[in-house]
Structure 1
Amino acid sequence: MNELSKYKYVANDFNDLCNIIGEIEEITLNHAVDFVTQPTLWYRGQCNIQWSLVPGIQRFERLSSESVLCHSFYHGASQLSGSYIPKSSYDKWISMMQHYGMPTRLLDWSYFPLVALYFAIGEDDKYDNVDARLSVLIPEFLNQTQEIDPYIYPIDSNTALEMLKPAFYGNIQPTQKILACYATSNDFRQYAQRACFTIHDTLNTIEKVCDDKTLYTILIPKEKKAYFKKMLWRLDIRESFLFPDITHVAQESINRHLHK
């Protein structure tokens, strides 16, 4: 069995991708006839289809250092922050850590599929020779499977804070759940990327927690990455769009005009 035949969904072009998303939407609506609101679709792109959906703190045996990392970041960043943030605002500190590339118990998602596709295709050429993965999550279904109300919580809700606090205090009993929640930080990058998160207060992977109506995998063949890169460029889904700061605007200008 080759790699392509393992997966129900394979996107070779934008037409395929739109049809697959449409099919998943129909399946979702059929399973949500009793829902008060229409469920949403979240997306996550990864350059290598073999990578699991695991938050950074659970990779490479980092979990034992979680509380140390959180307190160390709090100590340094609180002195540099332009405004006072209480230590009990675990959502803001964890979001800030995620923003600056520290490993946390958050896993990034987006409700804009082209953002996820950008990360699946990647700017780094070293992954051009491996198939990419676009994961599609139904967050309301995920929360329902965790015996949580089937809607999306803000990351500063009491339910979310209960799952974030153990990151700072390792002696707190984990809830053993994964929660889908929206970002609430006043942050241009999170807004541009239409950011949302899953909080992982358990070592159970999201693949094990989700059933076949909650999580889907779309394979992007490696030989199609160049096509999708070109199409995203034409649609203006670029580095400066996803990372709206002067550093990335400058880098995009260099890439565009000097690396032809």
Structure 2
Amino acid sequence: MDSDNHLIEIKINSYDELVNLICGKDEKNKHDLREDYVFRGLSNIEYELIPSSLRKNNLNQLNINEFIESDYKFKVPIEETEIKTNNLTYNPKHKSYDNTFIILFDKYGKPFLDKNSDYSAPKNKLQIEKELYILIKFLDYADKSGLKVNAKGFSRYLLHHKSNEPYDEYVDSDVLEIISLAQHYGLPTKALDWSYDYKVSLYFAVKDILVNSKSNDGVLWALNYKLIENQELNDPNYYVNLQIYRPEYNTNPNLNAQKGLFTYLERYVENYDEPLDKIISYELNQDLKDRPISSYYDSKITTIPTNITKNNNIFYKFIIPKEIKHEILKELYLDGYSEEYIFPGYDGVTKSVINRIKLNNLNNPITLKKNIILSVDWDINKVKSKEKLYEFINQDFEFEINKIFIYQNDEIIGYFRGNEIIKDSPKNLWDKFGRYSGLSKDKFDKLFNNSNCFAIRINDFNIFNYSIKLCNFKFEHKFYYIEDNNDLKFLLNFN
């Protein structure tokens, strides 16, 4: 367990341990987190608490850019001194309310009228414009399709009244309702989803095990939202930037089932595009007098209320090892947290039918059989005539053997099935099968004196019509595992 007071990190070992930790019934935590915390599940420990609109792809470009046309022009206010310093083209008539001037930029932040300029738009101001733009597009297309969107105010006005002014910040509750809906269906927004129900969030942290056999460790985050919610305790000279919003459940069955709410940063200042836990950690180590000033609110901006200190438990970070994801998902299913509950409707029921089969296969895995190559000096005619039916070995296999390919005189000449491997004392194995081994008693005793002994029965013996020549292939031991050599896997791809 790692603890930095405001962020406590715990790696769990089982579902029961996690439940006890959250319910305050473990030595590591005596406080029931369900009272004051909301939860967020991430399937990969490398994922961070960054809203979808601020996440980047492998090319270090914001994913939100994929939702915006290349020729769309965004209005961003720029100070006149900055415009002149960077030789930007501007229209003196396009003066904003705060005595800045409007410059048009593309979605990458390059000025439209100065294509060769190295100047880039202030990323926080451009980000605001991009986020609101795709939200209004979402409202527009959904509205025209007859889909209900709980929007009646500012955002609906913007459908037909494009302002000449930049939007600055958008905090209208009308817009927040659109965010909650758009976020749920995959549109990138400034919101981070949380749930009052830790088991719902836990489901999202482990469900990838059904489709990803190489799953990573997951994370269940817990945020003490009561500390943020009680803002009346905050210093009136500071504005709290981290906001919590719970949409109307009656308009979204999935949101209702998942007990969802979200957090968002109202103002994009300083390191707004960092993970939320790091933003808060940075602020707790900073003097309040160094916080940025908001002219809009005539106060300084803090991420969290000023009465919160490093001694407050703000976050819990529960690390979920990938090895126990299937165990946790099974327990969640038994508790009723399967797809028909989390995604109410026919689609959720269908997903549940399919995923329960996948989960059953994870809990009862099909045994994978392996192939090996066996270097032999047999008289093949004795095998064909049934004079030799057993091969003695001293290696204990930790897996089931499928086919044993026979390697002789620099060639793979055939195979037999390895579905009967018998372990016993050397004496008993010799007494039972020695006469069918092709070995003398003296040679057998010399090979297996005081060692484990196994007898492989030669079943379904087959000789290839054309042998596979492997003149340069060398064995380290008498056996060779095909899985260790891609070329051989290809050559020996027999049914």
Q: TM-score range by the shorter chain?
A: 0.7 to 0.9
**Superposition deviation, residue 126 in structure 1:** 2.3
Task: Report the CA distance shift for 1:205/1:176 in structure 2 as closer, same or farther (over 3 A).
Answer: farther
Highest relative contact order (Cα 8 Å, sep 6+), 1 or 2?
1
Cross-structure match for 1:77:
142
- Residue identity in the other structure for 1:70: L
RMSD: 3.1
Query: In structure 2, what is the Cα distance between the partners aligned to 1:111 and 1:150?
Result: 23
Preserved contact between residue 193 and residue 263 of structure 2 (Cα < 8 Å)? yes
Which amino acid counterpart does residue 222 of structure 1 have in structure 2? K
Q: How does 1:74-113 map to 2 (within 5 A)?
A: 74-79=139-144, 80-82=146-148, 85-88=151-154, 89-113=174-198
Task: Note the residue ranges of structure 2 that are not aligned, 5 or more in a row.
Answer: 57-61, 65-126, 155-173, 282-309, 362-495
State the match for 1:209 in structure 2: 280
- Pairwise CA distance, 1:83: 7.2
Pick aligned residue for 2:320 from 212, 216, 220: 220
Q: How does 1:101-250 map to 2 (within 5 A)?
A: 101-123=186-208, 124-126=210-212, 128-143=214-229, 148-149=231-232, 177-186=241-250, 187-201=252-266, 202=268, 203=272, 205-207=275-277, 208-209=279-280, 211=310, 213-250=313-350
Distance 1:9 1:193, change over 3 A: same
One-letter identity of the residue aligned with 1:43: F
The one-letter code matched in structure 2 to 1:242 is I
- Counterpart amino acid of residue 44 in structure 1: R
* CA positional deviation for 1:137: 0.5
Map Cα deviations across residues 165-206 of structure 1 (whole Å, 9 max, x no partner). Answer: xxxxxxxxxx78221232324221111101111122331532
**CA distance in 1: counterparts of 2:182 and 2:150, whole angstroms:** 16
**In the alignment, is the contact (CA less than 8 A) between 1:106 and 1:198 conserved in 2?**
yes
- How many residues align structurally? 223
- After superposition, what is the alpha-carbon deviation per residue over 1:110-162, rounded to whole angstroms, capped at 9, x for unaligned? 11111111001024532753111000100122345xxx3369xxxxxxxxxxx
1-structure distance, mates of 2:10, 2:357? 37
TM-score normalised according to structure 2 size? 0.41
Structure 1 residues 128 and 226 mapped into 2: Cα distance closer, same or farther (>3 Å)? farther
State which drifts further: 111-120 or 125-134.
125-134
Question: Aligned partner of 1:9: which letter?
Answer: I
Query: Which residue, 48, 53, 59 being the options, matches 2:55?
Result: 59
Percent of aligned positions that are identical: 26
For the pair shown, which has the larger CA radius of gyration, 1 or 2? Answer: 2
Question: For the Cα contact (< 8 Å) 1:132–1:219, is it kept in 2?
Answer: yes
**Runs of 4+ with >6 A deviation:** 4-7
Deviations 1:46-65 (A, max 9, x none): 00112111111111223463
Higher percent of residues as strand: 2
Alpha-carbon distance in 1 for matches of 2:21, 2:355: 32
- Give 1:18 deviation, angstroms: 2.4
Q: Is the 8 A contact 1:39 1:138 kept in 2?
A: no
> Which deviates more from structure 2 when the two are superposed, residues 186-195 or residues 61-70?
61-70
Q: What is the CA–CA distance in structure 2 between the aligned matches of 1:98 and 1:134, rounded to whole Å? A: 20
Alpha-carbon distance in 2 for matches of 1:150, 1:118: 35
Unaligned runs of 5+ in 1: 30-37, 152-174
Residues 102/127 of structure 1: CA separation in 2 closer, same or farther (3 Å cut): farther
